[in-house]
Amino acid sequence: MKYYIIAGEASGDLHGSNLMKALQKQDRNAEFRFWGGDLMQAVGGTLVKHYKERQFMGFAEVVLNLRKILGLIKHCKTDISSFNPDVIICIDNSGFNLRIAKWAKEQGYKTHYYISPQVWASRAGRVEKIKRDVDAMYVILPFEKEFYDTYNYDVNFVGHPLIDAISDRVQVDETTFREEHHLSKKPIIALLPGSRKQEITKMLGVMLSLVNDFSEYQFVIAGAPSQDYSFYKTFIKQDNVAFISNKTYDLLSVSTAALVTSGTATLETALFKVPQVVCYKANAISYQIAKRIITLKYISLVNLIMDREVVTELIQGDLNKKRLKKELSKILDEDQRIKFFIDYYDLEKKLGGKGASENAARLIYQSIQDRQTP
């Protein structure tokens, strides 16, 4: 079978690579062509465009880069036509993928979607377009199936792929890890400022402003694979700061606490049982637009899944040195840490067990088989 997969950022690359591995188990003749990253490329197949070429954060940034985005969409359509896949699999990245799904459906391609657009957060009217353009949806959050049920759209809850990604990783030895990266013996506070330059620029300076106030801890920046150290270096003014690129899971596995930019990383941090403060600051225009269309009580996946405040969220003006210092001090308190661990275990139960990638791959492959069976 021929699979055309479209992922748009680092998390999509991770989940896409695991889905590809699972599809190979189902289909020995699987042929992949994809938009993704290094992890998907390592599985095999042909990489069309790397996600680094199309990372735009917020409404304002999208508008400023609209011509480039429209050019990428046109190129994707042409490439799909040339490849003529048995199925197109979109992974998250709704702004790009929903446009491709609409066109693909009109052309007669089978369209599957793994990891739903966050229509439950804003612009729920998009559900009708999804029902029209997407043949099968595979959701990874338990409340998403309930949400789609209210629109009479039957989707498949397959579990969350992060559970597989974390449980299948090779465990790191802390002593060796510290020696390899020249870290001190102090407890580690991990800084996860995001993966896009716009995010890092907004978050990292505030996070690093706490370094001198917590000198008994080692601060370590988790570098995103999409950014070079030279970019991060411009923000580092203190001595007690280390930088480790593309080893976020290893870093979280040995961390005492974390300051985390809102997104998938909040859930990853929780699954490693690391107490965290969630940070979010956007372009002022983008934030004002988002405030008017997003209907959620929370911005972090941890709180959304639990439907209550498990982790503190510092948003826009609240993300300042004074508030961040106060909240970091709280999560370093032992009584607070015990509460975190209990909540995190409850969170993991809600997400179901292992096997999200395998569940999705089995359903995708079976749907193609059923279609080809006379």
Predicted pLDDT at 284: 57
> What are the phi and psi torsion angles at 30 (to 5°)?
-60, 130
Assess whether 75 and 61 both reside in one domain: yes
Place of tokens 């992922």: 7
Query: What is the rounded distance in angstroms from the CA atom of residue 180 to the CA atom of residue 174?
Result: 10
Residue 224 CA, distance from chain mean position: 12
Assess whether 23 and 154 both reside in one domain: yes
Residue 68's CB is within 10 A of a number of other CB atoms, namely: 12
The pLDDT confidence band at residue 60, using thresholds 50, 70 and 90, is: low
Q: Residue 344 contacts by C-beta under 8 Å, 6 or more apart in sequence?
A: 270, 271, 273, 310
Total number of domains constituting the chain: 2
Assess whether 78 and 119 both reside in one domain: yes
> What are the phi and psi torsion angles at 4 (to 5°)?
-110, 115
> Residue 318 pLDDT more than 80?
yes
Assess whether 13 and 140 both reside in one domain: yes
Predicted pLDDT at 8: 86
> Residue 122 pLDDT more than 80?
no
Percentage of the residues of the chain whose pLDDT score is greater than 70: 92
Report the mean per-residue pLDDT for the chain. Answer: 90
Predicted pLDDT at 352: 83
Residue 295's CB is within 10 A of a number of other CB atoms, namely: 10
Predicted pLDDT at 374: 57
Assess whether 122 and 178 both reside in one domain: no
Report pLDDT digits (tens) over 8-55: 888 899 899 999 999 999 999 999 999 999 999 999 999 999 998 765
Query: What is the rounded distance in angstroms from the CA atom of residue 204 to the CA atom of residue 324?
Result: 12
**Residue range of the domain that includes 272:** 167-350
Predicted pLDDT at 6: 97
Coil, helix or strand at residue 312: strand
Percentage of the residues of the chain whose pLDDT score is greater than 90: 68
Assess whether 292 and 154 both reside in one domain: no
Assess whether 248 and 331 both reside in one domain: yes
Predicted pLDDT at 39: 94
Assess whether 283 and 238 both reside in one domain: yes
Q: Which residue has the higher pLDDT, 292 or 342?
A: 342
Buried b (16+ CB within 10 A) or exposed e, 299-332: bbbbbbbbeeebbbbbbeeebeeebbeebbeebb
Query: What is the rounded distance in angstroms from the CA atom of residue 188 to the CA atom of residue 191?
Result: 10
The mean pLDDT of 327-346, rounded to a whole number, is 93
Predicted pLDDT at 71: 86
Assess whether 150 and 218 both reside in one domain: no
> Residue 270 pLDDT more than 70?
yes
Coil, helix or strand at residue 304: helix
> What are the phi and psi torsion angles at 115 (to 5°)?
80, 100
Report pLDDT digits (tens) over 220-249: 999 988 788 999 999 998 888 999 998 999
> What are the phi and psi torsion angles at 131 (to 5°)?
-60, -35
Domain holding 77: CATH number? 3.40.50.2000
Most confident of 19-33, 122-136, 305-319, 359-373: 19-33
Assess whether 123 and 253 both reside in one domain: no
Give the lowest-confidence range in 113-122, 157-166, 273-282: 113-122
Task: Give me the DSSP letters along 87-143.
Answer: EEEEES-HHHHHHHHHHHHHTT--EEEES---TTTB-TTHHHHHHHH-SEEEE-SHH
Predicted pLDDT at 53: 76
Report pLDDT digits (tens) over 145-198: 989 999 999 999 999 999 988 988 888 999 999 999 999 999 999 999 998 888
Q: Is the dihedral of CA 184, 189, 195, 197 positive or negative?
A: negative
The mean pLDDT of 254-269, rounded to a whole number, is 94
Do the beta carbons of residue 221 and residue 255 sit within 8 Å? no
Assess whether 150 and 196 both reside in one domain: no
> Residue 217 pLDDT more than 70?
yes
Assess whether 211 and 284 both reside in one domain: yes
Q: Is the dihedral of CA 224, 10, 56, 282 positive or negative?
A: negative
Q: Which is nearest to 46 in space by CA: 70, 69, 80, 74?
A: 80
Buried b (16+ CB within 10 A) or exposed e, 257-293: bbbbbbbbbbbbbbbbbbbbbbbbbbbeebbebbeee
The mean pLDDT of 289-307, rounded to a whole number, is 75
Report pLDDT digits (tens) over 63-79: 566 677 788 899 999 99
Do the beta carbons of residue 220 and residue 190 sit within 8 Å? yes
Place of tokens 């949400």: 147
